[in-house]
Structure 1
Amino acid sequence: MPTRRTVMKAGGAVLLPAAAYGTSALAAAWPNERGARPVRAEVPEPFSVRMPLPATLKPVARSSTTDYYVMTARKANAQILRGATTEIYGYDGQFPGPTIRARAGRRVVLAQTNQLDMDTAVHLHGGHTPPASDGFPLDVIAPGKTRIYEYPNRQQATTLWYHDHAHHMEAEHVYRGLHGFYLIEDPAEAELGLPSGEFDVPIMLRDARFADDGSLHFVAEDFQNRTTILTNGRPQPYFPVAARRYRFRLLNGSNLRSFVLRLGAGEEMAQIGTDGGLLGAPATTREIRISPGERVEVVVDFTGREGSQVILADDHAGPVLRFDVGAPAYDASRVPAVLRPLPPLGEPDVVRQMSLGIDPQDFTFKINGKVFDPHRVDTTIRRGDTEVWEVTNGDTFTIPHNFHMHLVQFRVLSRNGRPPVPAEGGWKDTVPLQPGETVRLQATFTGPAGRYVYHCHLIDHSSHAMMATMEIVD
């Protein structure tokens, strides 16, 4: 049962050179002699493990219009901690799951098989998908069964991700590893000359709590005890880079934790994208704020830094990744002054109010005063309409939320009556809401008719019914 103690807060971590971090307080000496005490799983020394890159899934077949993939959700053992393996739920047994690289305008058909002993469902987060392929919470894959998902990819290049969305189970399933990147590419983005190929790196950040035997420990709303930060599935890894520009696609795959990320001693980064793709123009920033489900794309220039170590750290959790800068490498990439012009927004057809909050009487999570009922339609929307949604976090004490809308991307018009900061100036599908905050969002509902959900993407909250259904009608 959720309680008032569920809090997300950022502390003020001091950024120090890499050598100053020393040995993790969670790491301990290992007994080597015969008959010593039983070995316990522990977090490895900081920066002793290389950050892995998720494998790219290859199509099993191609036609003139479509790429065909197969994938299986199953249990597997992952090497995360020192001294033990950890059982995870993984797409193709991987943690994170394999990356799908799609092309705008080219369809993807995914045959997803469930080899777990519980129902699953797959949601392409940020995807413009038909309702039968969106992962509605009741559209589950039973154990031993296969479901076909069709993704038309009729949207611009962007960083999406796929994850479980089974009713009441999505929080635990995502926590145990059912998540992976889905990247859409298009010719217009390729012509910009941004870092590409091996210099275009997806990075998933998330937190976890481990038992002494190395198993993932899941208790809903257990934010304060999920103290191990995983970067592409490993705690505090290092990653070798050349002394040149890199594009990093950052995804917050946590259930509840937000990150405030800084590079080195607060060095500048060029933010180029957000949930729905490229910004109109690069935004220079010294910090990256990213709540669960959000994506942020940045270009970091390591030119002239050869031989150095540069740490990416969170204000509250401390270091999450170390970049080890090697020799210079040929670099023809650039960050143009104009990335992708954003079209002007038209006048809305409808304005709606949405309130997210916890009922103080029974501590249930609600949207507009209602818990989720998958058989009830909460909002009916005429296809093609443009709507403004005024979304408020009605919890004025300590509970943050964020808001994710399926089917469409939206633009942030204002936050607490003020224009959005540059980082929120592009297309979005997920926005954070601190207690008492209100954001105004505008979206045009041009997708297929049918039922979709919108919800808080602090996913432990949506698993406890902070979700609602919208129906797009002709």
Structure 2
Amino acid sequence: MSNQASRFITRRRALHAGAAMSGLVAAPVVASRLNGAEPAHAAPAPAAGHGGHNGHSGHDMAGMEGMPGMTDPGPAHPAVAAAAAAKFTRELPLLKTRQPTARTNGTDVYATRIVDGTADILPGVKSRVRTYDGDFAGSIIRAERGRRVVMVHQNKTPDPSQVHLHGGVTPQRWDGGLMDNIEPGGFREYVYANDQPGATLWLHDHVHHAHAANVFRGVARPYLLHDPAEDAFNLPSGEFDQTLVLRDARFDANGDLAYLMDDAEGRSTILVNGVPWPVMRVTARKYRFRFVNAANLRFFVMALSSGTPFTQIGGDGGLLPAPWQAPVVAISPGERAEVVVDFSAFPKGTRLTLDNYIGPGPEADVGKVMAFEVGDPAPDTSSVPASLVPLPALAAPTVKRRFELAMGEPGSGDMTATINGQVFDHDRIDTTVRWGTTEEWTVVNTNATLPHNFHTHLAPFKVVSRNGEAPMPDESGLKDTVQVFPAQEVVLRITFDSHKGVFPYHCHMLDHSDMGMMAQLKVV
């Protein structure tokens, strides 16, 4: 990895040795990420009944028995090992576009079902899943800025559900507010005005105390908001603009997805668009890739095996002010990144792998994400301009707040996760803000070994600093989810000028938020 990559990792992705990551000792970038400490070797599989998240082991499950994922899933189906051994043999599924049920002059209407079913994730195995419209890979909702989308969801499962448009600037009524459930057999309408800049958003379940399990089982899909103003940039489009949904999985002896709370170590099967370690056949030209990290706990720090940098053009809130040559793309659960890769420099037949430089899990499995196989040259008139979308100046903050994220360290026996010392209570308002004001939030990870991240509903934010230093270019645009590694302080500036009401903010490592790392703000 280049000096630029090492600087990128050292400056703003620094991890402490131990539970924050494991394995991947062969990659030079690991040493810099650990700030010179010796990288931990791959941790053993977690003990039965324990999560093993980022090295968690020995956590006491007392008091957690009523929550999903408290049963040891046991040994994995043999097809898991077969899929791992046969990496890069299955074709990457290209995500389909979900067509509206009806269209009017200004509105697209979708009828969506939340259903239980099966998916062909592992070769020769029917795995039970829970999805939107029976599609585990996640068909895409394509919206256009200024054109309204109405989605009517019917819950066909035996459990309550909920829908959140992650990254959407949405009124409380349609935000997916934890307790606004769609009961089994029921319907609920969500209306999205799409009056925000174009961006890669995504829909996922948000029902209280069960959204981690539901998202793990497949209740998620991309929502691409197109902004006609972007067309002038002439970026790769059409078939050369592809969404890659990243997640990880653990399977039981029946080949079903096995949810065990706080189990990043055990979820070592890497999926892209619903398939383990696929290969994408590309023509020798430029492609735009939209990465969506739909995993519950896993961070991805990705690089091309050729050492070729990505041209990163976008993040959570859409296009960046300017592209930059990114040696790695680093995204935590819930984050998105948009990049352009030019395959024209590679001879036909070249195979590149998309490598992952962060654990936990066996390096042989979690160290690879997918492969690209280069084919014939193709006409390409696309380009990446030197400037993209300028970030509007934010007002000076009138209020400053501090939010401390904390949970029990590995071996402590404590599975409580808190913000400012409190576990989530849906009857409590933790923060009250005045509409139209700008605030500065300092988000602190008080853990010594465990990473977190931080997601705000309703309003995007600007990253001001990370441990007192200016953010790197990948965080130069608007964001809704930010990484907060052990002992880090991240300063955010956020303006509340869209909707009033009650909205959650939380760690988007969804197992952490289900364990209590969530709170509520009220805009008045």
Alignment of 1:321-400 (within 5 A): 321-358=370-407, 362-396=414-448, 398-400=449-451
Q: Which residue of 2 aligns with 1:295?
A: 336
Letter in 2 for 1:421: M
Q: Quote the offset at 1:462 in angstroms.
A: 0.5
Q: Which residue of 2 aligns with 1:90?
A: 131
Secondary structure, counterpart of 1:225 in structure 2: coil
1:107 matched to 2:148: yes
- Is 1:41–1:212's contact at 8 Å kept on the other side of the alignment? no
Q: Deviations over 1:290-325 (max 9, x none)?
A: 111000100000013232111111114222111111
Q: Which residue of 2 aligns with 1:436?
A: 487
Letter in 2 for 1:408: A
Q: Quote the offset at 1:97 in angstroms.
A: 2.3
Q: Quote the offset at 1:6 in angstroms.
A: 6.7
- Is 1:6–1:221's contact at 8 Å kept on the other side of the alignment? no
Q: Which residue of 2 aligns with 1:313?
A: 355
Q: Quote the offset at 1:12 in angstroms.
A: 3.8
Secondary structure, counterpart of 1:132 in structure 2: helix
Secondary structure, counterpart of 1:222 in structure 2: coil
1:255 matched to 2:255: no
Q: Which residue of 1 aligns with 2:506?
A: 455
Q: Which residue of 2 aligns with 1:28?
A: none
Alignment of 1:271-282 (within 5 A): 271-282=312-323
- Is 1:138–1:166's contact at 8 Å kept on the other side of the alignment? yes
After superposition, the CA RMSD in angstroms is: 1.5
Letter in 1 for 2:261: A
Cα distance in 2, alignment partners of residues 101 and 12 from structure 1: 41
Secondary structure, counterpart of 2:402 in structure 1: strand
Secondary structure, counterpart of 1:224 in structure 2: coil
Letter in 1 for 2:146: G
Secondary structure, counterpart of 2:153 in structure 1: strand
Secondary structure, counterpart of 1:159 in structure 2: strand
- Is 1:8–1:223's contact at 8 Å kept on the other side of the alignment? no
Secondary structure, counterpart of 2:345 in structure 1: coil
Q: Which residue of 1 aligns with 2:24?
A: 11
Q: Which residue of 2 aligns with 1:151?
A: 192
Cα distance in 1, alignment partners of residues 143 and 25 from structure 2: 39
Cα distance in 2, alignment partners of residues 129 and 98 from structure 1: 22
Cα distance in 1, alignment partners of residues 465 and 427 from structure 2: 33
- Is 1:98–1:180's contact at 8 Å kept on the other side of the alignment? yes
Q: Quote the offset at 1:185 in angstroms.
A: 0.5
- Is 2:418–2:517's contact at 8 Å kept on the other side of the alignment? yes
Cα distance in 2, alignment partners of residues 437 and 10 from structure 1: 22
Q: Which residue of 1 aligns with 2:50?
A: none
Q: For structure 2, list consecutive stretches of 5 or more residues without a partner in the other structure.
A: 1-17, 29-76, 359-365
Secondary structure, counterpart of 1:223 in structure 2: coil
- Is 1:276–1:409's contact at 8 Å kept on the other side of the alignment? yes
Task: Output the TM-score relative to the length of structure 1.
Answer: 0.91
Cα distance in 1, alignment partners of residues 460 and 140 from structure 2: 21
Cα distance in 1, alignment partners of residues 469 and 247 from structure 2: 30
Q: Which residue of 2 aligns with 1:214?
A: 255
Q: Which residue of 1 aligns with 2:40?
A: none
The equivalent position to 2:467 in structure 1, one of 416, 419, 423, is 416
Cα distance in 2, alignment partners of residues 279 and 13 from structure 1: 32
Q: Which residue of 2 aligns with 1:171?
A: 212
Q: For structure 1, list consecutive stretches of 5 or more residues without a partner in the other structure.
A: 16-38
Q: Quote the offset at 1:280 in angstroms.
A: 0.3
Q: Which residue of 2 aligns with 1:34?
A: none
Q: Quote the offset at 1:83 in angstroms.
A: 2.8
Secondary structure, counterpart of 1:171 in structure 2: helix
Letter in 2 for 1:89: R
Secondary structure, counterpart of 2:429 in structure 1: coil
Cα distance in 1, alignment partners of residues 136 and 259 from structure 2: 16
Cα distance in 1, alignment partners of residues 260 and 169 from structure 2: 32
The equivalent position to 2:307 in structure 1, one of 235, 258, 266, is 266
Q: Which residue of 1 aligns with 2:79?
A: 41
Secondary structure, counterpart of 1:262 in structure 2: strand
Q: Quote the offset at 1:404 in angstroms.
A: 0.2
Q: Quote the offset at 1:76 in angstroms.
A: 1.4
Secondary structure, counterpart of 1:462 in structure 2: helix
Q: Which residue of 2 aligns with 1:70?
A: 111
Letter in 2 for 1:90: T
Cα distance in 2, alignment partners of residues 314 and 84 from structure 1: 26
Q: Deviations over 1:415-443 (max 9, x none)?
A: 00000001111110001111110000011
Q: Which residue of 1 aligns with 2:47?
A: none
Q: Quote the offset at 1:132 in angstroms.
A: 1.0
Q: Which residue of 2 aligns with 1:401?
A: 452
Cα distance in 2, alignment partners of residues 294 and 221 from structure 1: 19
- Is 2:138–2:273's contact at 8 Å kept on the other side of the alignment? no
Letter in 1 for 2:399: V
Letter in 1 for 2:115: R
Cα distance in 2, alignment partners of residues 196 and 341 from structure 1: 21
Percent sequence identity is: 47
- Is 1:247–1:298's contact at 8 Å kept on the other side of the alignment? yes
Q: Quote the offset at 1:54 in angstroms.
A: 2.1
Secondary structure, counterpart of 1:49 in structure 2: coil
- Is 2:99–2:110's contact at 8 Å kept on the other side of the alignment? yes
Cα distance in 1, alignment partners of residues 217 and 276 from structure 2: 15
Q: Quote the offset at 1:41 in angstroms.
A: 2.8
Letter in 2 for 1:319: K
Cα distance in 2, alignment partners of residues 386 and 418 from structure 1: 21
1:55 matched to 2:104: no
Q: Deviations over 1:314-371 (max 9, x none)?
A: 1142221111111111111000000111112221121111111026795411101111
Letter in 2 for 1:172: A
Aligned pair count? 445
- Is 1:72–1:112's contact at 8 Å kept on the other side of the alignment? yes
The equivalent position to 1:242 in structure 2, one of 260, 279, 283, is 283
Q: Deviations over 1:35-94 (max 9, x none)?
A: xxxx94334311111010222111111112211111111011111112311010010011
- Is 1:401–1:433's contact at 8 Å kept on the other side of the alignment? yes
Pair 262,13 (structure 1): closer, same or farther in 2 beyond 3 Å: farther
Following TM superposition, the consecutive aligned residue runs of length 4 or more in structure 1 with deviations greater than 2 angstroms are 5-15, 39-44, 359-363
Q: Which has the higher helix share?
A: 2
Q: Quote the offset at 1:464 in angstroms.
A: 1.2
Cα distance in 2, alignment partners of residues 169 and 255 from structure 1: 12
- Is 1:8–1:256's contact at 8 Å kept on the other side of the alignment? no
- Is 2:415–2:515's contact at 8 Å kept on the other side of the alignment? no
Q: Quote the offset at 1:286 in angstroms.
A: 1.2
Cα distance in 1, alignment partners of residues 395 and 22 from structure 2: 37
- Is 1:200–1:248's contact at 8 Å kept on the other side of the alignment? yes
Q: Which has the higher strand share?
A: 1
